[in-house]
Amino acid sequence: MADQKTQDSGAVTMTKSDLAAIVAAAVSQAVKATNEYVDPIVEVNKTRMKTSMKELRAENERNREYRESLCSHRRDDNSSRVAWIDNWVARTGRVVREGFCQGCEKHFHPEIDPVAYMEMVKVSTGKNTGY
């Protein structure tokens, strides 16, 4: 009689692995439901920030190009305003001389713009006699 009562009560027996699978599925569904919710205010802010960052980058690029177009990269005495630095490049195993204009912050590198690089390398800095 006791066995009959247990079967009629609706009790379910399961193994630990069955219980773990059910709990994992429930947690997965709960996390999925939480991740599917999109706050409209957050989405609007993300879109606005992406747009403003693109505009800011474009404006900075325009300003940089404008500064470079106005700069001759030379001082009044016709010496170079470019500060040169020797950098060791491990992947190639050689030293590369790079320059940065102290007026407009233009980067002179032999692989990026070889024509401008060669033009400015020839100009004396007027400060260091070793170069």
* Cα-to-chain-centroid distance, residue 66: 24
| pLDDT number for residue 127 | 63
Instruction: Pick out the chain residues at pLDDT < 50.
Output: 1-5, 131
Alpha-carbon distance 19 to 25, whole Å? 10
Alpha-carbon distance 64 to 62, whole Å? 5
| pLDDT number for residue 53 | 97
Q: Where are the domains of the chain?
A: 14-68, 71-121
* Cα-to-chain-centroid distance, residue 64: 19
Dump pLDDT digits (tens) for 36-52: 777 889 999 999 999 99
